Amino acid sequence: MKQIIPFHTFKEAIESFDNGGRFFNFLSHAKDGVVTPAELGKVAGVTHDPQAMILYLMMSISTLDNHSKERVLAHLDTALFDLYEKYHPVHMTLEQFAGLGKAGISTTVVGTPKKISSTTDFGGSIMVPVIVDAVTSFAIVPIVSAYDVYELTSDEGHVVMTVAHHKEKSPLPERKLRLGGMLTSLNQSEEAGKASEVFLEVQYYVEED
């Protein structure tokens, strides 16, 4: 999970994105006017996660005017623009999430997170891969054993959704945030009354005014 400070100008954004990539990205060149997946991945802090790259792209230019956003997108190479079209994140209100949230999509939401401390407060579980002798199987574990879990509330406090990030990441500040990530399946306890729901696995956040 990484905090994003959005760019204020087109020049700021394109200078950050058009960076030449890492030293082994021989086909990417800094300041050539073309932004490649390798270059975007470098600034986004990911290598093989195109969904996260596009999420970072859209959150980092979220405060630019529409013309500046279009100018940034015009500098993406063909491969990166194809990824943008495939993985463009959906922004949802918490009210929309309740009816439209589906596992596997990238989304951004705005709200205030409050940390849940234990399985007593939250009984959901997740499937995690277990590798033994090169054979991968899955085990169901309480989500709070692998993640820091939060309730995200709307400004009015009437709508709540579950968001989480891996425990090794720094805690989310408990103030109004724009969170970006992937909706992930959540196995509910029998008492919850639902066989399956989703939570937002947070990858990036932006502090809102």
**Residue for token digits 């029998």?**
190
Pairing of strands 177-187, 196-207: antiparallel
Contacts within 8 Å (CB) and 24+ apart, 8-11: 8/63, 8/64, 9/64, 9/68, 10/64, 10/68, 10/71, 10/72
Copy the structure tokens of residue 163: 């968001």
What's this model's pTM, rounded to 2 decimal places?
0.82
Per residue in 133-185, pLDDT (tens digit) is: 455 554 455 666 778 889 898 877 677 888 999 888 899 999 999 999 999 88
Burial annotation 83-113 (CB, 10 A radius, 16+ → b, else e): bbeebebeebebeebeeebeeebbbbbbbbb
pLDDT band at 195 (very low <50, low <70, confident <90, very high): very low
Residue 69 pLDDT level (bands cut at 50, 70, 90):
very high
Tokens representing residue 50 in the block: 């195109």
CATH entry, 91-207, from 2.70.98.40, 2.40.50.140, 3.40.50.720, 1.10.645.10? 2.40.50.140
Q: Where do the CATH 2.40.50.140 domains begin and end in the chain?
A: 91-207
